[in-house]
Every structure is written in structure tokens, then in C-alpha cells.
Amino acid sequence: MFNINLITVGKLKESYLREACAEYTKRLGAYCKIKITELPEYRLPDSPSEKVIKAALDSEAEAILAAAGSDTIIAMCIEGKLMSSEELANKLQKLGVEGKSSLSIVIGSSFGLSDRVKNAAALRLSMSPMTFPHQLARVMLLEQTYRAMSILGNGKYHK
């Protein structure tokens, strides 16, 4: 059984997003042990310089890597690999077979992730070349993780 820690920078503000996350978290409980770790977002001025953004990402990286511990890291990032639901399921299965059943899936802040986190990741994953609201990413990732687990468990959800 997988232990999945969804590490996110920032909190969900909208109740409908929290409700959707709660639903997929509940559903995932049939397939894995799931926890959500919300880390504080580094506060930035309205027009931050590249140096200020890098400092913020580095600060967030410290907290992310500490929260991940010895888990295998999957970093959600724009330059990550695009995968179908079936490919994600196969990748998760392969990680499990390799003995990597404790996973930390990381969603950074709206400015992304530090290179430290990306370099520590076993997989860099992208949801889409399209741009989505940052807070929606958590719902989408939980849904796709549930879909992947359903595929692996021969469930009806994916069909």
C-alpha cells in the first residue's frame, strides 16, 4: 500500500475546493494512506525581483524537503513530463515495485518550485501545457491520483 503525502505551499481559500479535495482524499483512503501537508507561502511584495522570488523559493524548498523526509518526491512543475492517466498509474506501479511506496507529491507556490526540490525529485510531472488556477491544481492532482489508483485496482472509476 502506498503512503502518499501531498505537500502543498499555501492553503485552499475556497470552500468548494476544500470540499472537492476532501472527497478525493476520502476516496483515496481505499487505495492508499493519504495525508496533505500545507506549508506556509512565503509572502512577496507586489512586484518582486528575481532575487526576491529565488529567496522565497529557497525558503519554501527547506520546508518542502523537510516535510518530504526520505519519501520519493514527485515534483509538479511546468517543465515536467506530460502523462496520460494510464501512464501515471503505470509509473506509480513501477515505483511501488521498486520499493518506493512512500511518495511526496509536491505542489509549489504560484512562483513554482526551487531547483533544489526539482533536482531531488524522482519524477517531474506536468498536468498540462495549459495554465490553471494554482489552487485548482490540488483538486486535479488528487483526482488524477485517485484515477491512477483506481486503474491499478481495476476499479470502475476510470471507465
What is the chain's mean pLDDT, rounded? Answer: 94
User: Rounded CA gap, 20 and 26, in Å?
Assistant: 10
Under the banding of pLDDT at 50, 70 and 90, the label for residue 1 is confident
How confident is the model at residue 117, as a pLDDT? 98
Per-residue pLDDT of 148-159, as tens digits, reads: 999 999 988 876
How confident is the model at residue 133, as a pLDDT? 85
Q: What is the DSSP string of the chain?
A: -EEEEEEEES----HHHHHHHHHHHHHHTTTEEEEEEEEPPPP--SS--HHHHHHHHHHHHHHHHHHHTTSEEEEEEEEEEE--HHHHHHHHHHHHHTT--EEEEEE-BTTB--HHHHHH-SEEEES-SS---TTHHHHHHHHHHHHHHHHHTT-STT-
Measure Cα distances from 143 to 14, 24, 44, 49, 88 in Å.
17, 6, 30, 35, 12
Per-residue pLDDT of 120-132, as tens digits, reads: 999 999 999 988 8
CATH node for 2-152? 3.40.1280.10
Per-residue pLDDT of 48-107, as tens digits, reads: 999 999 999 999 999 999 999 999 999 999 999 999 999 999 999 999 999 999 999 999
User: Rounded CA gap, 98 and 153, in Å?
Assistant: 18
How confident is the model at residue 159, as a pLDDT? 66
How confident is the model at residue 43, as a pLDDT? 87
In a 10 Å sphere around its CB, with 0-12 CB exposed, 13-18 middle and 19+ buried, how is residue 70 labelled?
A: exposed
Query: Stretch 1-28: mean pLDDT, rounded?
Result: 96
pTM of the model: 0.94
Listed by start position, the domains of the chain span 2-152
